Amino acid sequence: MEGRVIFHVDVNSAFLSWEAVYRLRHADGAPDLRTIPSAVGGDIAKRHGVILAKSIPAKKYDVRTGEPVVDALRKCPHLVLVAPNHALYEENSHAFMNILRKYSDVVEQYSIDEAFVDMTGTEWLFGKPIAAAHRIKDEIRDTLGFTVNVGISSNKLLAKMASEFEKPDKVHTLFPQEIKEKMWPLPVRELFLVGGASEQKLKRLGINTIGDLAHADVGMLKSVLKKHGEAIWNFANGQDVSVVERETADNKCYGNSTTIAFDVTDADTAKIILLSLAEHVGSRLRKDDVWIEVVSVNIRFFDLSHASHQCVLKHATNITEEIYHAACRLFDEFWDGTPIRLLGLQTGRVSRDGGNRQLSLFDDTDYEKLEKLDRAIDNIRDRFGAGAIQRASFLRQDKSV
């Protein structure tokens, strides 16, 4: 096949699937959450928080990702609700990405549960694209216990659209010559980056399908939706020039980010995500025996606009708690309530001589104790897996997402 071959690999109902696999392996007689009405959600006792992932049986009751738990339970009173386990999700994500990297050295992790893989030129190693996709899909299922969808195309946008077709455990293609048949008849809302607000504006213009959008006047779209109008017009026509960006080792800064499955609109949920990111970054710092002095929080909003804010710490640190509190201060300073789709935490000014902290008469925090505690947690997770120990913040019902 001429040209590029790009895979988009997406875990089916990731959080719920990972919970199901864990329970089947560690709890005798546990039901498979994927086969019953179930969801990963927030506060089980107080019925707070939102739905993060749902099973296919729960979908039949119209349980939706991102909706309040209380609404989901109203629709499906017998819904089995599971509290989120962020350490478990990080562990599964890491294992998932490791399998993808066996097939290509050009893997771009797009979020915790999805990635783009450039398979160009690998046909002689793994067979034609469809055969290779089935091979990857089946290895993930047979090795890790959960299923994925694989979308295949010549660019990232079409590969991602293909992976959203029939689920679960499927392989789909969407090459440019297939756009007219497979993509244009779909409702315009199903196009990547077309949200609810954009959908309503497009419908007022008489644009109901992706095909309608592809044939619309781009100038008119720009007048109504600004740059976003031109972007989705390009996508409706299958145009995407972005490349799969290979991840490289970065010795100058340590960071992590996650694309969220729903629009985050409250600070408590955002801060739980920041804590998970701080744990990941802190563990990497301690593993490399380095300290940082700069913390930065990055946000991508629902409309793809960006914002970031950073600060310089008084002392170099690799302590999770310090990194997290700095991130929360930054978040409170610049977030204006706009719905969030991605949160990132970056650090900078990395050094190997940050262990000598100058003590202050006005600060009685036992930093040595905090660092020892972090390292003890790191050791437990290294030996027994990321899910072996969790912070209470992820389990307490009044703080779960």
Q: Token pair 């490399």 is at which residue?
A: 288
- CA distances (Å), origin 9, targets 99, 106, 147, 243: 11, 13, 10, 16
Write out the H or E segment, with its range, that includes residue 11.
strand 6-11
368 is catalytic: no
Q: What is the per-residue burial (b if ≥16 Cβ within 10 Å, else e) of 335-356?
A: beeeebbbbbbbbeebeeebee
Residue 296's contacts (CB-CB under 8 Å, 6 or more residues apart) are: 255, 308, 309, 310, 311, 330, 345, 346, 347, 348
- CA distances (Å), origin 266, targets 259, 322, 336: 16, 22, 11
Structure tokens at 89: 């999700």
Neighbours of 316 (CB within 10 A): 20
Rounded Cα–Cα distance for residues 323 and 315 (Å): 11
Phi, psi of 166 (to 5 degrees): -45, 135
| 49 exposure class (CB count in 10 Å sphere: 0-12, 13-18, 19+) | buried
Contact 7, 111 (CB under 8 A): no
Q: Where are the beta strands (DSSP E) in 265-379?
A: 292-301, 306-317, 340-348
Catalytic residue among 114, 321, 322, 371: 114
DSSP state of 202: H
Long-range contacts of 102-106 (CB under 8 A, 24+ apart): 103/132, 103/135, 103/136, 105/246, 106/244, 106/246
SS3 content of the chain, % helix, strand, coil (to 5): 45, 20, 35
3-state SS assignment for residue 378: helix
Q: Indicate which residues carry an active-site annotation.
A: 114
